[in-house]
Chains A and B, each alone.
Chain A
């Protein structure tokens, strides 16, 4: 158990509606990440955070925004959901005790369907 809770775990929403996914950690780790998983693409980084209010874009950030107001929470928002954002979303965490090579731990995933 990596101490990561994602909510909601499953959601169906309509095109054009806003959606927020929440990631909560109990490990007090510095780094938090949002990935999306799609068949044939593996996992792709959407956004990541390296501290409270410190975030940066990943490989597939268009259409997504994030916020981190507390160490333990990292929110992913789809401002206006589209069908191409139907995916499984994974939150991940990592500490920063060493430069690189730290294990990144993943949550259980959030299944989002945009209809």
Chain B
């Protein structure tokens, strides 16, 4: 079975500071990895995904994530955050084989303070 753990439920940072949102996963088989963002009262929007190849993945809005197979991690980073980045962020995995189903972490609420 797969599981995803987001290590921080809330992350407060000041505007223009760097941020890292941590995600670890557990799976006995190879997986694809995703980060989604959810703004208040909206659905989820894909930030980036790792399928194969380079372990550093760049996404929208200046975010990037690095896949670390040995540590089974997929941490999300941004070098300088803006007020508009205030949202909830979800890490997710899906199996490479079979029906595509996402398993989500619990979410991390990112709050940007001026």
Contact = CB atoms under 8 A, between A and B. Distances in A.
A33 B101 contact: yes
A103 B49 contact: yes
Contacts, number: 68
B32 A103 contact: no
A50 interface: yes
> What's the interface size class on B, roughly?
20 to 34
Interface stretch (A14-22, A66-74, A78-86, A104-112): A104-112
B67 interface: no
A100 B44 contact: no
> What's the interface size class on A, roughly?
20 to 34
A99 B97 contact: yes
B55 to A, nearest CB: 15
Nearest to B45: A106
Contact of A104 (B51, B97, B102): B102
Given A90-B44, A100-B94, A40 B106 contact: yes
Contact of A101 (B6, B9, B42, B96): B96
A105 B90 CA distance: 14
Interface in B25-83: 32, 36, 41-46, 49, 51
A100 B96 contact: yes
Contacts of A50: 99
B100 interface: yes
Given A42-B107, A99-B96, A58 B44 contact: no
Contacts of A52: none
A43 interface: yes
Interface of A: 4, 31, 33, 40-45, 48, 50, 56, 58-59, 90, 92, 94, 96, 99-109
Interface of B: 4, 6, 9, 32, 36, 41-46, 49, 51, 90, 92, 94-107
20 contacts: A31-B100, A40-B9, A42-B105, A42-B106, A45-B101, A45-B103, A48-B99, A50-B99, A58-B101, A59-B103, A92-B102, A94-B100, A96-B100, A100-B97, A100-B100, A101-B96, A102-B100, A104-B46, A106-B44, A106-B45
